[in-house]
Amino acid sequence: MCESSLKDHKDIKKIDKDQEKDESSFPDLIYKSPMPFFAKDRKHRYIGASLPFLNYVGLTSEELMGKTDADFAWLSHHDTYRQMEEATLHAGKSFDHFMIKGTFNGENRTIYVTQWPTYAHGHITGLMGYFFDEDHIPYKQSGFHLPKWLEVSAFVDQLKILEKDYRQHNTYFGVIFVSLHDDAQKMSNDLTKQCQDVISKVVNAPASMTCLEMNRFAIALAKHSPEELTKMADAICDGLEAMSVSDQDFASLSVKTHILYAPDIAEIHERLMRTLFDEHAEIMHYEENAEYNTLLRSIISDLPFGCYVIKPDHTLLYWNKKAEELLGFKAHEMEGKKCTDMPLGCAFTSGMPIPAMSCPAMVAAATGRPYTTQMFMKRVNGKELLMQNTLVPIKDQKGQVLELVSVFVPLIQEDYDAALVNKIYELTTRDALTCLPGRKYMENCIAEAIETYQRTKHPFAILFADMNNFHAINNTYGHDAGDAILRMLALALRKYGRKTDRFCRWGGDEFVGLLQLRDPQEIIIAARRLKKISEECCEVVDGKKIYCEAAIGITVVKEDDTIDSLIKRADTYMYQAKKEKKDRIITDYNTDDD
């Protein structure tokens, strides 16, 4: 830290001795940053600033430190900015490009502030931020000083910036949609380019523009009133209709325009996001207006989540770029197919395949409400990815579901540490009754153990346990008694297993364990230890003693084993144990199958 900053550090300490040590630290790297950075404590006082910041406001470091914005009275709307700072300092909220007007170094200027909270030991200690002057804000340089034609995704990005300005500062804007004829196929590239040139000349103002189709265009204009937008739309229409058309398919152009104003566009985005993530939100409806639905699709296309659109008959209509990135399947491979024909291999977190009638899309279609679930989807390389999937029904004005929008996000990343992935699987698949993780967790553990065995030949064994008379207990004493027995068996497995052993509820009254061994013959010792589980177990329910017996099969991994072969062999041993009257644990060393 530079000398002046160290002095400032001491000055601030004198102001408030109770501040934490690192609250006022301001690295030399930031002090010498080419950007106008600043830092404040929890009482809104400046505790650091970069040289560009100091030069912009016309103060020295000594003059700034320990003071607040109110001390300098340089903000036109101080109360508004104060509320923003309070939200950062007390609620941990961040802000991007918040517009502030004020008088800095004797000049009236508009700046765009970005700020975020700073933390120490888990608590908010202050805030940091930077700003851009109105003449140097990046998005204005790249999109709004002159009319500019953008890709649809970039156009939607600019709409988000305009929408944010509208929400925060009521800066009005609108979008003019231009349609030429109904048949886009007749429009040549040259004619489309000719139309774009005419639109650019007519607009001749800060704007972002995009070509939605060969014959459809959108123009976003900031700081334009409804009257100005209407005049602009009329001028565009006149310019295109007066254009000298060289294309032989058109003697003249038939032009239609439609305008969506700031409140409408903000509402489209807000309703979409609210519907996706708020189960009590109003359901999205299709509008008769084609531009509305085009913009809706554009926003969906630009979502930073995997997204697909599906019809109630299971036909997939749309697959966005993020879905391609997450799962590896291209849009042309997926669109037009039925769910049953797609290679996604959707499964519950328990690992069981999702049947057609339990498909999340069908649940959302049947209830007419958004539905969120956690599930597995297969990537193009065959690996499964744990997802949170939200299905949103899109209805017509009569309430009939026309389409369903799926938005899915991964709950784990491929580059996560294997132990962390297992922990996530353990938590997300955990069974509420037994507090044991589910089938998918165990499959992942066994796959990892097989991979380790193939590299190191370190042995392990698979245990398969089943309650002998569980259904009789359920029928005789009720499901509460059955639940108590399942909890008892789960506790017993953890009690008599070792710390390195892992167990899961495989399904129903079946349990699977992964036992780490130093030597294959250790399963004989493990069988003796676990025999205490297979002997008669007693659970007291409503004062009655209920006896239940467990049958257990244990097998050691072999050279060519897979998850399926290991589970199948342990399951076979378990059924042999059910037939035995004395030994209720069957292993590789006492089985009849040699």
Residues 74 and 95 in one domain: yes
Among 133, 160, 184, give the residue marking a domain's end: 133
Number of compact structural domains in the chain: 4
Residue 298 lies in a domain: no
The pLDDT of residue 578 is: 85
Residues 502 and 463 in one domain: yes
pLDDT tens, N- to C-terminus, the chain (594 residues):
334 433 444 444 443 444 343 333 444 555 666 778 898 999 999 988 888 888 888 888 888 889 999 888 888 777 778 888 888 898 888 776 677 888 888 888 888 788 888 887 778 889 988 888 766 554 443 333 456 787 766 777 777 777 777 766 667 788 888 887 655 456 677 788 888 888 888 887 678 888 876 777 888 887 777 788 888 888 888 888 887 665 555 556 778 887 877 766 655 555 544 444 444 444 444 444 555 556 556 666 666 678 888 888 888 888 888 888 889 999 889 988 888 788 888 887 766 788 776 788 888 888 777 787 878 888 888 887 888 888 878 777 677 788 888 888 776 544 444 555 556 556 656 777 888 888 878 888 898 889 888 888 889 999 998 888 788 888 888 888 888 888 888 888 887 888 788 899 888 889 999 998 888 888 888 888 877 775 556 777 777 777 777 888 999 999 899 999 999 999 999 999 888 765 578 898 887 654
Residues 216 and 151 in one domain: yes
Residues 71 and 164 in one domain: no
Listed in sequence order, the residues at least 6 apart from 62 whose beta carbon sits closer than 8 Å to its beta carbon are 4, 7, 8, 11
Residues 541 and 405 in one domain: no
Query: How many CB atoms neighbour CB 307 within 10 A?
Result: 22
The pLDDT of residue 564 is: 92
The pLDDT of residue 18 is: 40
Residues 121 and 79 in one domain: yes
Residues 452 and 569 in one domain: yes
The pLDDT of residue 13 is: 40
Residue 12 lies in a domain: yes
Among 85, 118, 133, give the residue marking a domain's end: 133
Residues 446 and 560 in one domain: yes
Task: Report the alpha-carbon distance of residue 529 to residue 525 in Å, rounded.
Answer: 6
Phi–psi pair at 434, nearest 5 degrees: -100, -10
Residues 88 and 177 in one domain: no
- Which strands, in side-by-side order, build the sheet including 460-467? 502-507, 510-516, 460-467, 550-556, 585-586
b/e code 550-583 from CB counts within 10 Å (16+ = b): bbbbbbbbeeebebeebbebbbbbbebbeeeeee
Q: Are 224 and 173 spatial neighbours (Cβ–Cβ below 8 Å)?
A: yes
Residue 159 lies in a domain: yes
Residue 280 lies in a domain: no
Listed in sequence order, the residues at least 6 apart from 425 whose beta carbon sits closer than 8 Å to its beta carbon are 386, 412, 437, 440, 441, 444
Listed in sequence order, the residues at least 6 apart from 71 whose beta carbon sits closer than 8 Å to its beta carbon are none
Residue-number span of the structural domain to which 211 is assigned: 138-266
Residue 154 lies in a domain: yes
Burial grade of 68 (CB within 10 A; 0-12, 13-18, 19 or more): middle
Residue 300 lies in a domain: no
The pLDDT of residue 452 is: 84
Among 266, 298, 326, give the residue marking a domain's end: 266
Residues 167 and 61 in one domain: no
Task: Report the alpha-carbon distance of residue 355 to residue 42 in Å, rounded.
Answer: 54
Residues 515 and 405 in one domain: no
Q: What is the CATH number of the domain that holds 31?
A: 3.30.450.20
Residues 223 and 204 in one domain: yes
Sign of CA dihedral 372, 376, 378, 381: positive
